Amino acid sequence: MTVATRSAPSAVRTNEVTKVYGRVTAVDGVSFAVAPGETVGLFGPNGAGKSTLLRMLAGLARPSSGTITLDGTDLVPGDHAVHRAVGVVTHESMLYDDLSARENLRFHADLHGVADPAARCEAVLDAVNLSGRSSQYPSAFSHGLRKRLSLARALLHRPDVLLLDEPYAGLDQRSVADLAAILDGFDDRTVLLTTHDLDRGVGRCDRALVVDRGRLQADVDLDETSAAFETTYRRAIGVDDGSNGGVGP
Amino acid sequence: MAMFALLIVLAFAFSFVKTVRNPTVLGRSALWIAFVFGGTLGVTRTATVEDDDAALDGILLAPVDRSAIYLGKVASTSLFVFVVNVSTLGATAVLLGYTPTLRTALALLGVLAVAAVGFAAVGVVVATLTFRAGLDELVLPLLLVPLVVPVLLAGVELTAALTAGSPTESWLRLLVIYTTILLLAGVATFDFVVEE
């Protein structure tokens, strides 16, 4: 098990990043680097600090200390270059229920200054298999469809880095398979995803970062099976007897 | 929001028309009470729409200056509040017999427009702060109303002065300066309000 900052050219690099909310330290001195095109999973139990870390990488939260760089440029929340480089999917869809799927995408395309926004919206709707539902409102969508539309929103501006917070959470088997198939089409992008689902995470990711109690506990290449990684994971979060509720789908 | 403002005017009509014989006093009272309550509903609605499913986060992820996002929200909320108050002004004329001259009415519309901007300038910040901090929306009026007291005070006094033909400079100066301060403070603080 290694916990070290890799020195290869990185699309994303964090250096001793810490986030404190009042008296709670959500993220505590986390350092790692992600190479361009790499898919990295952030694994950890509930409350480990994964989502907070992802929100800082997205520029939605400012680190209390430490630095984050994207393609060598320091990340500053509100920096336009950062927001052009990153696409984000979280638990919430970040969409308006009063706008149709197409109108939502058009709104975000305009905000991002996407060239030929109408054509791009149709292209991403097609990419996530929602062309036939583009006139419908997100409020009428199932959780899986909202997730797909959220992914379409995140892909609109062709970001180099995709940040996915629990992309499989709350999805049935079919929706998970659909989402996995869609993500297969974006293997050339740098992807950071958080998940509880060890099987799917191991299947999708090149590397795993295990986070617990705000700290990076392990950084492992995923050339092992999910069963082998589960042992590594349990050891990293200090649970060896299989009784920890944070493991599993 | 417009319906709520209309209900306030109606309540005034049923309660006071027979006892308070001065439609000018009734009209300006109903107008500015409707302004505060309707405006509070308006900024709450604006924040709720963007709190649902973290729609505001979606905007914050765009390569757009956060001050521009703030000013956009202020512009839309101001317009909303202003339109509702124009309809309230109409309702006071019909239901309360408050009929200012055309010149006074036009001046009053100008006052309502500036007051709407002042209200929205602070309302957007306070509403966003309330929802981002996870506070109950009932807290919003408690935080907002004390901050808009100068706007309300200047609005009421200007309405009285315009109707009576009295000098308006000092109240107008207060309204414009305070609105400008609220706008500048909003631009300066919005970035911190939306950021975790």
The 10s digit of each residue's pLDDT in A193-243 is 998 788 888 888 889 999 999 999 989 888 767 777 888 888 888 876 544
Q: Give CA A242 to chain center in angstroms.
A: 26
Q: Which among A84, A113, A153 has CB closest to B58?
A: A153
B interface residues, A as partner, C-beta within 8 Å: 49, 52-55, 57-66, 191, 195-196
Which residues neighbour B64 within 8 Å (Cβ) at sequence distance 6 or greater?
Answer: A80, A111
State how beta strands A190-195 and A39-43 pair. parallel
Helix-strand-coil split of chain B, %, nearest 5: 85, 0, 15
The conformational region for residue A238 under phi > 0 = left, psi -120 to 50 = alpha, else beta, is: left
Answer whether residue B63 shows pLDDT above 80.
yes
User: Residue A137's Cα: distance from chain center in Å?
Assistant: 25
Dihedral sign, Cα of residue B142, residue B146, residue B151, residue B156: positive
Look at B61 and A83 and tell me if their CB atoms are within 8 Å.
yes
Are A93 and A166 in contact by the 8 Å Cβ rule? The answer is: no
On the question of pLDDT at A181 being above 90, the answer is no
- Judge whether residue B17 has pLDDT over 80: no
Whole-number Å distance between alpha carbons of A68 and B20: 66
Distance from C-alpha of A193 to C-alpha of A201, rounded to nearest angstrom: 8
**Within a 10 A sphere around the Cβ of B177, how many other Cβ atoms?**
12
Chain A residue closest to B55 (CA)? Answer: A94
* Closest among A113, A131, A133 to A122, alpha carbons compared: A131
Of B6 and A187, more confident? B6
Which of the pair, A118 or B195, is modelled with greater confidence? A118
CB A135 within 8 A of CB A100: yes
pLDDT of residue A8: 55
Report residue A39's pLDDT band, with 50, 70 and 90 as the boundaries: very high
- A216 within 8 A of A30, measured Cβ to Cβ: yes
Strand runs (DSSP E) across A134-249, as ranges? Answer: 161-165, 190-195, 207-212, 215-221
A157 HSE (CA, 13 A, CB side):
25
DSSP annotation of A46 = T
Q: Which range has the worst mean pLDDT, A4-8, A116-120, A221-225?
A: A4-8
Q: How far apart are CA A227 and CA A248, in angstroms?
A: 11
| B49 contacts A93? CB cut-off 8 A | no
From chain B, the residues in CB contact with A60 under 8 A are 57, 60-61, 195-196
Please indicate whether, in this complex, the C-beta atoms of B195 and A62 are within 8 angstroms of each other. yes
Angstrom distance (rounded) from CA A202 to CA A246: 16
pLDDT at residue B45, as a whole number:
86
Element housing A15 (H / E):
strand A12-21
Q: What's the distance, Cα to Cα, between the start and end of chain B in Å?
A: 31
The yes-or-no verdict on residue B56 having pLDDT over 50 is: yes
Q: Whose CA is closest to A41, among A200, A213, A244, A248?
A: A200
A95 touches chain B (CB under 8 A): yes
Q: Closest-CA residue in chain B for A59?
A: B61
H or E stretch covering A89: strand A86-89
Residue A228's pLDDT is what? Answer: 79
Here the tokens at position A140 are 């009428």
Residues in B touching A138 (Cβ below 8 Å): 53
Of A167-181, B102-116, B166-180, give the lowest mean pLDDT range: A167-181
A122-165 pLDDT per residue, tens: 999 998 889 999 999 999 998 888 999 999 999 999 999 999 99
Q: Can you read off the two tokens belonging to residue B160? A: 């009285």
Q: What is the pLDDT of residues B155-164, one digit of tens each?
A: 999 999 998 8
Query: What integer pLDDT is reported at residue A248 of this predicted model?
Result: 41
**What is the pLDDT averaged over residues B163-170?**
86
Report DSSP state, residue A75.
P
Looking at residues B92-103, what average pLDDT do you find? 85
